Structures are given as structure tokens and as C-alpha cells.
A and B are shown apart, each in its own frame.
Chain A
Amino acid sequence: MASLRPFLMYLFLWSLCGLVFLCALRFGTAQISTAALFHGEAGVLSGRGFRAVCALAVGAALAVSGLMLQSLTGNPLADPGITGINAGAALVAVAIAQFVPQASAVLLMLSAIAGAGLAGLVLWFLAGGAASLGSEGIALRLPLAGLAIQALCLSLAMMLILTDAQSQARYLHWISGAIPPVPRGETAALLTICGALVVGVFLCNRLSLLTLGADQSRSLGRNPRLTVSLTLALVTVLSGASVAIVGPVPFLGLLVPFVARGLAGSELRRAYGYCVPLGAAALMASDLAGRVIVRPGEIDAGLIVALFGGVGLIVVLTRLLPRSAQARP
């Protein structure tokens, strides 16, 4: 029976994901019947399908990159949104789009990945590393360093967007996390995400070995430095590619891994397996809610995620920081 439970959980999560996908196809801004959806206006179905696929890939990517970052740093607050990695990607992508008007979608994605990497390096420099600070120091410094990077990058990106009418039309929604309504060359980014997600599965064992300690990892023949670099590279690629598609979505990489790790226990690979359908379903559901709540208007999916994410952050914190016994009345 013990081995049956994870299997049932996979089944449940994937069917949840499938259900949300079907809902995302069925419902949307335009209220049309199922028959009309299939026979009448073919454009609606393919448009919705494209959006759902984008949300699916990006949701899974952000959730997985949050999970990897959290396992690596040992800090349940580490997520590509809070740490400012997404914001760095957004800034570089907007800057490249502004200064190189002929930039192709692939170049934009690569620049977003480069931006994510830069932000990650700054973050590592500001908050990571020093063992003398202890876990409490890291827990505080990581979100603060992230806040600094995020504020700086998003201010600069907004500045670039606001001063140029053309990028205002293209990026004003993107910066708050909107699933693209029409394809604009996202194929490369989607393929990158799929590839990275497959690679990530093979990284899980290495990473869970590292969480036992660097010595343990070395004695079993896995170079800990290589594991760290590979994991950071994976996080960077996943965050950069997802920012290139939908913009900086906050908090998704915090909430979904939190739930997934709660369901999966200590086993990293199982948590990874739960993260993918859960993250995909979460972002698709947010996008769907954003389209349905205010017909004919739209709320960007990133805003819906942020709404739940802020509350989620508070819940995570109440778990993370226990109330001390001698609390003042």
C-alpha cells in the first residue's frame, strides 16, 4: 500500500491539471457553446489552446525552479519572484527589446536568461554563502536582497517601458505577468522549458545528495560544486524562459513547492513530480479566473497569483518562524 499512495497522488494531480486545461479551453472571454467552439470559430479554440499551453509550461517551470532553489539554499522562502531573479530577467529582456528593435524572439529569450543569471549572481553575492550568518541570517537576507534587486530592476524596466510608446503597448501588461493572447514567437522558449524540465529530473538525485552535506556528496562520487552550478543553471534557464513568455510572475515558485513538499515529504524527486502538474494547474487556473471574473475585461494572471501569493507567504512564514515561548504579552 505504501507504494500506491504516490501513484494515486500523481494520478490525482495530473487529472486535476487536465481538468483545468479543459476548463481553460472551454471558458474564456467570449461566452460560446461547446458546439460552436469546435465547429464554428476555429480561431477561438486554437487561441485558447495556445494560452493554456503557455500557462501550463510557465507554471510548471516556475514551480520547479522554485523547488530547486529552495532545496539548494535550504530556505523555503527562495523563489524566483521573491529573490528578484524574474525581475532581472524582465529588465534585460525589456532593455534588449528597446535598444535592438529587430531582436528576434530567441534573442529576447536568451537575454532574459542572461538577466536571470545576473540577478542570481548578485543575489548569491548579497545573501548567500557565508556560513557564519547561520540559517536565520539567510532567511532574513534572502527576501531582503531579493526585494532590493526586484525594486531596482522593476523600476528601471518600468522607466524604459513608460518612456517609449511602442513598448508600452507591448510590455505594460507583460510586466505584471500576462499570458500572451496571441503567439509572438514563444515556440523557442516553450521548447527550452520542456527540455529543461526533462533535464531537471536527472538532477534531482544529485541535489538531494547535496542536501545531505557536501562531504557526503563527494564521498559518493558527486562533485558538489558541479551540482550547485548545474542547479543554478537550470533555475536560471527555467526562470528566464518563463519570463520571456509571460513576464515576471511573483510567488508561484514559493507556493507550489510549499504544497508539493508538504505532500511528498522529504523525497525530492517525488516533490518534483508533484510540482509540475500542480504549478501548471495553478497558473492555468489563475489565467482562467482572470479572464472569467471581469468579462469582457481581463486581469493579468500574475496579479491573481500575487493575490494568493502574499497570503501564502504569510502562511509559510508562520510555519518557518515559530513563536518563542517567552513571547511578550
Chain B
Amino acid sequence: MRRAAALPVLLAVLVWLALAGGRNWLGPAALVQALLDRQDFLMYGLRLPRVLIATGAGMALGMAGALMQGLTRNPLATPDIIGLTQGAGLGFTIALLFGLPLVAGAACGAALSMFAVAILARGRGVLAFVLFGLGVGATAAATTTVLLVFAPEAKTVRAMIWLSGSLSNADFETARWLWLVLLASGGLVAVRAHRLGLLWLGDDVMAALGVDLLRMRFLVLGLVTALTAASTLAVGPIGFVAFVAAPLARAVTGAEAPAIWPAALTGGCLLVGADLMARLVASVAVFPTGLIMGLIGAPYLIFFLWRDRQEARL
């Protein structure tokens, strides 16, 4: 039980650090004072929305990753690796160019790429899910970049910053959307928690226990799409959070396999931490948080493959 408490405490500490830290550090007293004063620009204009978005997006991605890994029983099948984030990015860019609602764009993009991957990979085994995801993701990412060239200058700048996974222009409007989706999905997960816990046991066990498999799949895929779209809308296509969160959460807390809540908390910790690091590393330049996540996530993927190989050798 003590280990389970570690994550919320860590998240709270990181949030506190992120609120206090930056180019000029606030002491505890100054921090409370700034939080109480609604006119404080540094707090209410810059840091609070940024931290809210980082926490929300991290939690959404962590949750989506854990759900997806549970559904496919494949630790590699997370929304960032199978191309959902890139699809949401493409939808966002198209919506931005044609002046459509950005929320709808990101959601449609994520849903379409999920659909495409599911159709392409159907009946080809679990490996295919990941490999086709890589292909779909690469196509979506390239299309996004090419589309941006056609865009007017002002929109391009905004989209470029967003695409590299930067939180530098966070606002309360986006934060509200993100938290709305996160809370709704969280509620749904909480209601269905018992059944979602069965995901890792396999289709046969679930069918034997009387779970409607088709409905279950639709529920999980829908949740993953919504969570991915919301987080991508807020922070851009940041990779690896969803992929790293669940295994890390299990390692820290020792929880059982799906570990949806610990994964969400870990995702929050990761993104808030990465954002804080991005602000500290280059306080002058606009430094994308996505790059920091790449530096954390890619070594983990390498470690994962290395360990997998050691196991295969035995």
C-alpha cells in the first residue's frame, strides 16, 4: 500500500515544482500568494494552464496506453506507436487550415487512423497491428508536414510549434476540453473497472466470464481514441508517454497488469517532469517538450527490446 501512494505524492511534488519553477523560482509563500491572486499573470496566464495541460494530457495518454496494451495484450501497441497521435495531428492540421473546429479535427483524425490500422491488421496477428500502425503513423506525419507548406505563414508557425509537442502556448480553453474528456473517460473506466481488469486474461477467459467481447472492444477503442485526440489537441503529438507509462507504473507500484490508474498517474508525472525539464534546459529558446519525451522514451524502447531478446535466448 505504501508503494501505491508513491505515485500521487510524486505527481503532487512535480506539480508544485512545475508551478514554482521556471526562469524565476517562487518560494512556497510567493506561490500561495500568486495562486490566490487571480490577476497574477505569471501564474494564471502562463504556468497554471501549462501545468494543468501537462498533467491532464499525461494522464490521458497513460490511461490510453494502458487500455490499449490491455486490449491487444501487446506492450508495444500504444497510441503513439500505432499512429493514433500522428493521425490526430493530421486532423488538427487540416482543421486549422480550413478553419474547422480543432477538437473535431483531432478526434476524426485519431478515429480514422485507428479505423485504418484495425482494418489493415485484421486477422494478421498482433505483430501486424504495430507494424501497420508504424506505416499509418509515418504517412500521417508526412502528409501533415507537406500540408503545412501550403498554409499561410501565421498558421504554419502555430502548427509547427504545436507539432513538435510544445506546451508553450497553453491556455485555459484547451485545458478545459482536455479535462472534460479525461474526467468523462475516467468515470467510464471507473464504472467498468472490474471488466477492464479482465482484459489481460485473454479473450477466452473473458468470454467464459460472460463479457460481451465486441462491446468491450468498441468501448476500449472508443475510449483510447477520445483520450488520444484530447491529449494530442492539447500538447501535440508527443510520443512515448503512453508507451512508457503503464510498464513504469507496474514497476513502481507492483500493481497487477492493466494498472490503469497507476499508468494515468505515471503519465502525468512523466509529462509534467518532461515539461519542467524542457523549460529549465532552455529557458531562452522555445524548447519542445516532445523532444525530452523522446529522450526518455527511446532508451526505454531499446531496453525493452534488449530484455525481450535476452528472454528469447533463454
Q: Cβ of B294 < 8 Å from any Cβ of A? A: yes
Known contacts A151-B239, A154-B294; is-contact A145 B302 (Cβ 8 Å): yes
A159 near B291 with CB under 8 A, answer yes
Among B136, B146, B306, chain A packs the most CB atoms within 10 A around the CB of B146
A155: interface (CB < 8 Å) = yes
Q: Which of B142, B282, B291, B297 is close to A306, meaning CB atoms less than 8 Å apart?
A: B142
Q: How far is the CA of A139 from the CA of B128 in the complex (A)?
A: 10
Per the 8 Å Cβ criterion, residues 87-136 of B in contact with A are 120, 122-125, 127-128, 130-132, 134-136
- Check B309 against A313 for contact (C-beta < 8 Å): no
CB-based contact B139/A321 at 8 Å: no
How far apart are A250's CB and chain B's nearest CB, in angstroms? Answer: 7
Stretch from A50-58, A60-68, A129-137, A271-279 at the B interface: A129-137
Which residues 257-314 of B sit at the A interface, judged by CB distance below 8 A?
282, 285, 287-288, 291, 294-295, 297-299, 301-302, 305-306, 308-309, 312-313
Q: Please, which residue of chain A has its CB at the minimum distance from the CB of B301?
A: A148
**Which residue of B has the minimal Cβ distance to A125?**
B306
Contact A324 B142 (CB under 8 A): no
Write the nearest CB–CB distance from A132 to chain B, whole angstroms: 6
Establish whether residues B120 and A310, one from each chain, have CB atoms under 8 Å apart when the complex forms: no
**CB pair A151 B124 closer than 8 Å:** no
CB < 8 Å neighbour of B130 from A130, A140, A145, A251: A140
> Contact partner of A309 among B138, B146, B305, B309, CB < 8 A?
B138
Judge whether A313 and B135 touch: CB under 8 Å: yes
- Interface SS of B by simple majority: helix
Per the 8 Å Cβ criterion, residues 301-328 of A in contact with B are 303-304, 306-307, 309-311, 313-314, 317-318, 321-324, 326-328
Q: Are A147 and B124 in contact (CB under 8 A)?
A: no
Q: Report 13 cross-chain contacts, Cβ distance below 8 Å, ordered by A residue.
A: A126-B309, A130-B313, A132-B312, A132-B313, A143-B134, A158-B164, A159-B291, A307-B146, A314-B120, A317-B131, A321-B125, A324-B125, A327-B122
Cα of A125 to Cα of B310 in the assembled complex, Å: 11
What 0/1 pattern do residues 145 to 166 of A give for CB contact below 8 A with B?
1011101101110110011000
Chain B residue numbers with a CB within 8 Å of A307 are: 139, 142-143, 146
Would you give the shortest CB distance from B156 to chain A, in whole angstroms? 10
**A73 in the interface (beta carbon within 8 A):** no
Does A235 sit at the interface, judged by CB under 8 A?
no
Task: Assess whether A113 is interfacial by the CB under 8 Å rule.
Answer: no
Residues of A within 8 A of B (CB): 77, 122, 125-127, 130, 132-133, 136-137, 139-141, 143-145, 147-149, 151-152, 154-156, 158-159, 162-163, 176, 250-251, 294, 297, 299, 303-304, 306-307, 309-311, 313-314, 317-318, 321-324, 326-328
With A147-B81, A156-B295, A321-B125 known to touch, is A303 a contact of B135 (CB < 8 Å)? Answer: no
| Set of chain A residues within 8 Å of B297, measured between Cβ atoms | 151
C-alpha gap A307/B147 in the complex (Å): 11
Q: Determine whether the beta carbon of A137 is less than 8 Å from that of B130.
A: no
B63 at the interface (CB under 8 A from A): no
Q: Is A317 touching B132 in the complex (CB atoms < 8 A)?
A: yes
Given A163-B282, A303-B142, A307-B143 in contact, is the A324-B313 Cβ separation under 8 Å?
A: no
Question: Considering only CB atoms and an 8 Å cut-off, how many residues of chain B contact the other chain?
Answer: 47
CB pair A310–B140 under 8 Å, yes or no, is yes
**6 other A-B residue contacts (CB within 8 Å) besides A145-B305, A155-B295:** A132-B313, A136-B127, A148-B302, A155-B294, A306-B138, A310-B140
Type the 1/0 row for B57-81, where 1 means its CB is closer than 8 Å to any CB of A. 0000000000000000000100001
The answer to whether B285 touches A144, judged by C-beta atoms less than 8 angstroms apart, is: no
| Contact between A309 and B142, CB atoms less than 8 A apart | yes
Q: Are A140 and B127 in contact (CB under 8 A)?
A: yes
Q: A152-B295, A314-B136 are in contact. Are A130 and B309 (CB under 8 A)?
A: yes
Q: Which 9 A-B pairs have the closest CB atoms?
A: A327-B123, A310-B139, A155-B294, A152-B298, A306-B142, A148-B301, A310-B138, A313-B135, A151-B298
